[in-house]
Structure 1
Amino acid sequence: MTTGQHRLRTMGRALLAASGLMMAATAAQADVTVKFDGYVADRMDRITGIDKNREEVFRQFRTEGSRTQVKPRDALNVSYFAGTEWGNERVIPNIDDYSVPGLIKGMLERGLREADANFAGTIEVTIDKLRIKNFSLAVISASTTQMSGTVKVLDAAGNVTAEHDIWAAIVPEYSASNNYTGPGYAYTGPAVDTRVGPVAAEFTEKVLETLYPDYDAPGLVVLSGR
C-alpha cells in the first residue's frame, strides 16, 4: 500500500468514526419523550405562546414581564447580568426554537447525558399537572407553583423497567452572583412566579435524581442580584 493510499484509508476511517459519533448523538436525543395529559395538554400551545413572549422580552431586557411592562431603564440589566448563563438559553439558545415541551425535553436530555451517557432505552415523561402562581393564564395560575406527572423507563426492547410518580415544587438554591455560570439553571426571582422554566428545572431535577440517586442533577438557581 502506498503512503497516499494509507492516508486515504485513515481519513476514511476517521470520517466514518465521526459520522458514527454524530449518529449516536442524534439517537441520544431520541431517548427522551415528553407528553402532556388533561388540561395541560389542551392548553400547551397557549402556555408556550405566553412563555415564549416573556422569554423574548427577557432576552432583550433581562427583566421579567410583558413588553408593555418594560421600562427604558430595564435595558441596564443587560450589562449587569452580561456574564450569566441563563437557564432557558442554556437549553434552547435560539429563541425561534423555544417551546415549553422543548425546554423540558432539553433539560432531561442534558441531565441524562451527564448521568448515563450509555443509556440505551427510552425515558417517557407525562406531565398532568402544572400550576404557576402568577402565570398569565387562569387555568394554570394558582396559589402555589408545582409540576407533577409520571416517568417510565423502557429498555431497548420497549419493556417498562421502572415507573415513578414525580411531584416538584419550588425549593431553589440562591446566588448573589450577577455572572452565574454554575451547573444549575439560573433565573431571576420574579421568574419563579410567572414562568415555566423554574418549576421545569425543579421537576427535571427530581426525575433525574429519582432515576439516578447518586447523580446531583442541575436544578433551579435564583439570582438575588438586582
Structure 2
Amino acid sequence: MTKNTLSQITSRTLAVAGCFLTLGFALPAHADVDVQFEGYVADKMNRITAIDRNREDVFRNYRTEGSRGQVDPRDKLNVSYFAGTEWGNERVFPSYDDYNVPDLIKEMMVRGIKEADPDFNGTVQVTIDKLRIKDFSLAVISSSTTQMSGTVKVLDVAGNVTSEHDIWSGIVPEYSASNRYKGRNYAYVGSAVATRVGPIAAEFTEKALETLYPEYDAPGLVIVSSR
C-alpha cells in the first residue's frame, strides 16, 4: 500500500467520522463499573478470593460444595446429573482461571446495567463495607447470617454524582427443582449460601440494580436442588 493510498483512506475515515458527529450520532454507550471495598472487607479481600477460588475449583470438578478434603470420589457423578445447568459463577466466568470475587460483583453489575439501560454512559461506583457469610472459612467473615452492604453511586460522563444509594441485602432466593436450569437468575446449590460469596453477590447486585432501575427485574439468586 502506497503512502498516498494510506493517506486517502485515513482522510476518508476521518471524513466519515466527522459526518457522524455532525449528524449527531453518538459513540456506543459504555457502562463503567468500579467495585471497591472498605475496612475489614478490603483488608481480607485477597484471602476471601483465595478461599472462594479453592471452593470454586472443587465445585467445577465435582458439582458439590466443600474443600478438596470434604469431597468423595462418588461426588463426580454430580457432573453428569447437573450437565444441563448454567451455574452462576460460570455464567460470569466461563474460565476458572479468570475467577475472582471483586470482578464477580463487577460483572454482575455490568451485565444488569447493559440489560436495563443499554444507552447508559457513565460510571457506577460500588463500595462494599460489610460482608458476612454464615459458615465462610475465615473468622472475620463468618457470622450467624449471610449479608452484604455498601453504597452504589452513579456518575455521569463529566464525573458528577447523579444518585447515591445505601444497599443492604440478605438471602431471599428463588428455588428450582430442575437439574438443567438455564434461567436468567444466578444458579447455586443450597449449601453455597452459607459458604460462598456468589449467592450473596447475586442478591446484593439484584437489589442494587433494582434500586437504580425500579422497573427492571434484575437477575438474582436461584437455589437449584441437589440430589
- Which residue of 2 is the match for residue 4 of structure 1? none
Whether 1:81 and 2:55 are equivalent positions in the alignment is no
Aligned letter for 1:144?
Answer: T
The answer as to 2:33 corresponding to 1:28 is: no
Shift of 1:28: 3.0
Cα separation, 2, equivalents of 1:180 and 1:86? 8
Deviation of 1:224 (Å):
1.6
On the 8 A contact 1:34/1:105 being kept in 2, the answer is yes
Query: What TM-score comes out, normalization by structure 1 length?
Result: 0.88
Checking the alignment, whether the CA contact within 8 Å between 1:62 and 1:75 is kept in structure 2 is yes
- Cα deviation 1:168-212 (Å, max 9, x = unaligned): 000000000000000000000000000000000000000000000
Q: Where has structure 1 moved over 6 Å in runs of 4 or more? A: none
Match of 1:171, SS state, is coil
Alignment RMSD (CA, Å): 1.7
Equivalent-residue separation in structure 2 for 1:84 and 1:160 (angstroms): 40
Paired residues, what number?
Answer: 206
What's the secondary structure of 1:55's corresponding residue?
helix
Show structure 1 runs of 5+ residues with no match: 1-8, 18-23
Q: What is residue 202 of structure 2 aligned with on the other side?
A: 201
The within-5 A match list for 1:109-188 is 109-188=110-189
TM-score (norm 2): 0.87
Name structure 2 gaps, 5 residues minimum. Answer: 1-8, 18-26
Structure 1 distance, partners of 2:184, 2:151, is: 25
Distance in 2, Cα, partners of 1:218 & 1:212:
13
- CA contact under 8 A between 1:177 and 1:225: conserved in structure 2? no
Determine if contact 1:92/1:106 at 8 Å carries over to the other structure.
Answer: no
Contact 2:33–2:124 under 8 Å retained in 1 = yes
Equivalents in 2 of 1:28, 1:139: separation in Å? Answer: 36
**Contact 2:187 2:222 survives alignment (8 Å):** yes
| Larger Cα-atom Rg | 2
Counterpart in the other structure of 2:218: 217
Pairing 1:80-99 to 2, within 5 Å after superposition: 80-99=81-100
| In structure 1, C-alpha distance between the alignment counterparts of 2:179 and 2:225, rounded to whole Å | 8
Q: Secondary structure at 1:56's aligned position in 2?
A: helix
Whether the 8 Å CA contact 1:62–1:78 is kept in 2: the answer is yes
Contact 1:130 1:146 in 2 (8 A): yes
Q: % of aligned pairs identical? A: 73
